[in-house]
């Protein structure tokens, strides 16, 4: 079973993003100055404390997600959303890259009206940018309980370097991100 993340340290903020496989979502945030911690987990579903098997089987309603703990004096919520956009295909509405299932959909989970306004503005800016010729499919959803994924999923990219790299490239994520964002 999964558990709740640790309490938020004073003076820090949190953000939750779903961008397909959570293995691929921790590295870009971990590399961002001002991010103090990331946690792989599940958000948006109706089943309390879901397991990986329950989420993957469907029906729990959860998305594989990443909880980002950050210092808002060093990095803004808007900057984190930019990191998020540059880590996914925001036009893919059936998952992310080779991963096609409901728990791989992309979403920004907003905790309050301010986050919602920033997320909506960022989505509109991306849609108007001309980078993509398809509509932005990423959803903006109200925050929901976040449950930590099992320990073996946490920072998988550090624990299983070769397997993670092969997955990132083989799924199409790596080639897509280089192709799209090297032009911008």
Q: Average pLDDT of the chain?
A: 95
- Residue 146's pLDDT is 96
* pLDDT band at residue 111 using 50, 70 and 90 as cut-offs: very high
Q: How confident is the model at residue 63 (pLDDT cuts 50, 70, 90)?
A: very high
What is the reported pLDDT for 18? 98
pLDDT for the residue 143: 96
Instruction: Using alpha carbons, list the distances in angstroms from residue 31 to 26, 46, 70.
Output: 9, 31, 12
24 in catalytic set: no
Asked whether residue 2 carries a pLDDT value surpassing 80, the answer given is no
For the stretch 112-157, pLDDT in tens is 999 999 999 999 999 999 999 999 999 999 999 999 999 999 999 9
**Number of CB atoms found within 10 A of residue 83's CB:** 19
pLDDT band at 1 (very low <50, low <70, confident <90, very high): low
Q: Which of 21, 24, 43, 56 is catalytic?
A: 21
13 confidence band (pLDDT: 50, 70, 90)? very high
Going by their DSSP bridges, the two strands 146-148 and 35-43 should be labelled as antiparallel
CB 145 within 8 A of CB 2: no
Beta strands 106-110 and 139-142: pairing type? Answer: parallel
Q: Which domains are assigned to the chain?
A: 13-181 (3.30.1060.10)
pTM greater than 0.85: yes
């Amino acid at each position: 079973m999964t558990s709740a993340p640790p309490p938020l340290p004073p003076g820090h903020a949190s953000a939750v993003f779903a961008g397909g496989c959570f293995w691929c979502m921790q590295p870009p945030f971990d590399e961002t100055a001002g991010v103090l911690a990331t946690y792989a987990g599940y958000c948006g579903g109706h089943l309390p404390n879901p397991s990986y098997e329950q989420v993957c089987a469907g029906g729990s309603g959860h998305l594989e997600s990443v909880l980002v703990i950050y210092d808002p004096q060093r990095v803004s919520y808007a900057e984190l959303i930019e990191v998020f956009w540059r880590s996914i295909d925001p036009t893919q509405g059936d998952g992310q890259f080779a991963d096609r299932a409901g728990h791989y959909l992309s979403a920004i989970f907003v905790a309050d009206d301010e986050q919602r306004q920033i997320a909506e503005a960022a989505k509109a800016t991306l849609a108007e940018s001309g980078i993509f010729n398809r509509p932005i499919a990423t959803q903006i959803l109200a925050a929901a309980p976040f449950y930590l994924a099992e320990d073996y999923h946490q920072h998988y990219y550090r624990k299983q370097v070769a397997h993670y790299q092969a997955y990132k490239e083989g799924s199409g994520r790596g080639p897509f991100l280089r192709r799209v964002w090297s032009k911008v």
